[in-house]
Structure 1
Amino acid sequence: MYRPYREIAATFFPKAIFAVDRFHVVQEYTKNLNRVRIRVMKGTRKGSPEYYLLKHQSELLGIRPDAWYRDRTGKKMMIFDPAAPRSYVSGLKRQMNRYELREALLDTSPDLRKAYHFRNRLSEYYRKENLSTAEEELRSLIRDLDSTGVEELQSFADTLRNWFREIINSFHIVKQEYVVDPKTGNVRLKEHRLTSSMIENRNKIIKMIKHNANGYTNWERFRNRVLFVLSRGPEDGHPDRQDKAVNSRENSSK
């Protein structure tokens, strides 16, 4: 979500569909959620229960309300079950379960509770919407963020506006496949949306090539090595070995 990248892509790939995928949008929102938490924490007294919750229990803000896990017997358990067993929390000097800890954390500030609510709403947006409904729901989400009165959330609303079309484009389905659940044997249709994962993979490989060579001073040689490595399939080996293959070819041609 970097404006110069969008401008470069539009210049050199005018017919491409540009997308900002779920990972980057949620990552950006998480930064704003964390800013709310830090702002609230700075307004509390060090050593207070509120400060402890904001400082040491912040990971609870990243867990969905309906999240679950399996216990040692394989039984499905809700993480935020109000009736879950309590354990001693040394920072608060009392017995609490995760549900009570989360509620105590959110009670430290109305702004933090709003930020947590929209974090979950954003997650639901990506789980439930599709290409035909994503645009209308995203507009609704932006309006509601604007009306919160929370600066960090309003800033995120601006981000959604700036990248509106790219976010909607991420709902395009690029691949469908049937997968079998190994535990139940049930077959379901799995859809893959448009993401930037392939580009990021290529970028990682290019960085690896540069790292393995301790940098380059000759642009043409660097460019040739990148093109060679990226033209090879995964079965051809690690970029390290591919880079050595290029060295061998260059030496033999001298």
Structure 2
Amino acid sequence: MVQEYTKSLNRVRIRVMKGTRKGSPEYYLLKHQSELLGIRPDAWYRDRTGKKMMIFDPAAPRSYVSGLKRQMNRYELREALLDTSPDLRKAYHFRNRLSEYYRKENLSTAEEELRSLIRDLDSTGVEELQSFADTLRNWFREIINSFHIVKQEYVVDPKTGNVRLKEHRLTSSMIENRNKIIKMIKHNANGYTNWERFRNRVLFVLSRGPEDGHPDRQDKAVNSGENSSK
């Protein structure tokens, strides 16, 4: 759902961008700094010394931004981008709220928070966000079911040796991964006209290719007539 919401956020950005003048600072921000909208406010990285640094630290060093002809850091760029439109700021806010929903909620709290999220999206007055609220309504039960824990395992941190319990929730990631692989097969072959050949190719790649957890195996053509022992 976060991926689907990103599409709604992007539609808001494009709509706002179309209302700005090409060559203006606003147009530059909306056109060339849009990747900032996909970064969580609390995101961080490690510098060359290994120190933990916040990406959107207001006090971070500035660098020259040629499109704006001034020195700015990522925090200032993000704020300038969000200042281009109240609708865009709302869309960014709900993008982060949805991300937090999936990260922090559990089965006992997910339903109440999802209803609250839908109500708040409806009240924004932003068409793209209201449309996404309808999507959440249509998939309400499936979203709640995704909070069921289907697997638990203990994971050891290789650096510290600390052990933590990792819970796996019910997701559609496996299906989405397989769909992506199938699309890649079609793309790499420039399409198929023979259904049986396409079917064999898909079954072969999904069952034996590197994507199935066997990085030591190489993907080979189906019915190539090539001796597999070579």
Give the length in aligned residue pairs.
230
- Contact map agreement 2:87 2:126 (CA 8 A) in 1: yes
8 Å contact kept, 2:186–2:192: yes
Deviation for aligned residue 1:174 = 1.0
Q: Distance in 2 between matches of 1:120 and 1:32?
A: 13
Distance 1:99 1:141 in 2: 26
Worse-matched range after superposition: 243-252 or 131-140: 243-252
Query: How far is the alpha carbon of 1:199 from its aligned partner?
Result: 2.6
Conserved? CA contact 2:154–2:163, under 8 Å: yes
CA RMSD of aligned residues (A): 4.0
Contact (CA 8 Å) 1:88, 1:95: kept in 2 or not? yes
Q: CA deviation at 1:201?
A: 4.3
Cα distance, 1:198 vs. partner? 2.7
| SS of structure 1 residue aligned to 2:192 | coil
Helix, strand or coil: the match of 2:208? coil
8 Å Cα contact 1:209/1:243 also seen in 2: no
Shift of 1:231: 7.0
Name the CA distance, whole Å, in 2 between partners of 1:235 and 1:148: 42
Offset at residue 236 of structure 1 (A): 9.9
Max Rg structure = 1
Contact conserved, 1:208 with 1:239, CA < 8 A, in 2? Answer: no
What CA distance in whole angstroms lies between the structure 2 residues aligned with 1:253 and 1:67? 49
Query: 1:238 and 1:158, CA in 2 relative to 1: closer, same or farther beyond 3 A?
Result: same
Where is the helix percentage greater, Structure 1 or Structure 2? 1
CA deviation after TM superposition for structure 1 residue 111, in Å: 0.5
Counterpart residue number, 1:16: none
The alpha carbon displacement at 1:133 in A equals: 0.8
Structure 1 residue 132: deviation in Å?
Answer: 1.2
Q: 1:37, 1:253 → 2: CA distance? A: 54
* Deviating more after overlay: 194-203 vs 172-181: 194-203
Q: More displaced, 152-161 or 45-54?
A: 45-54
- How far the C-alpha of 1:197 sits from its partner, in A, is 2.6
Residue aligned with 2:226, SS: helix
Shift in Å at residue 224 of structure 1?
7.5
8 Å contact kept, 1:36–1:152: yes
Aligned-partner SS, 1:61: helix
CA deviations over 1:83-132 (Å, ceiling 9, x no partner): 11111111111111111111111111111110010000001001100111
Deviates more, 1:155-164 or 1:223-232: 223-232
User: Percent same amino acid among aligned pairs?
Assistant: 99
Higher RCO (C-alpha 8 Å, min separation 6): 1
Equivalent residue of 1:177, what SS?
strand
| Superposed displacement of residue 56, structure 1 | 0.8
Please give the alpha-carbon distance, in whole angstroms, between the structure 1 residues aligned to 2:37 and 2:206: 40
Q: Identify if the C-alpha distance between structure 1 residues 252 and 217 changes in structure 2 by more than 3 Å, giving closer, same or farther.
A: farther
TM-score (norm 1): 0.76
- Would you say the 8 A contact 2:40–2:96 is kept in 1? yes
SS in 2 for 1:238: coil
Q: Quick one: distance in 1 between partners of 2:211 and 2:44?
A: 38
Determine if contact 2:210/2:216 at 8 Å carries over to the other structure: no
Distance 1:130 1:232, change over 3 A: same
Contact 1:209 1:239 in 2 (8 A): no
Matched, 1:133 2:105: no
Q: What is the TM-score when the length of structure 2 is the normalising length?
A: 0.83
| Residues 53 and 204 (structure 1), Cα distance of their counterparts in 2 relative to 1, 3 Å cut | closer
In structure 1, what is the Cα distance between the partners aligned to 2:215 and 2:159?
A: 36
Distance 1:252 1:69 in 2: 45
Long gaps (5+) in structure 1: 1-24
Query: 1: CA distance between counterparts of 2:173 and 2:37?
Result: 26
Of residues 218-227 and 100-109 in structure 1, the stretch that sits farther from structure 2 once superposed is: 218-227
CA distance in 1, matches of 2:82, 2:128: 16
Shift of 1:200: 3.5
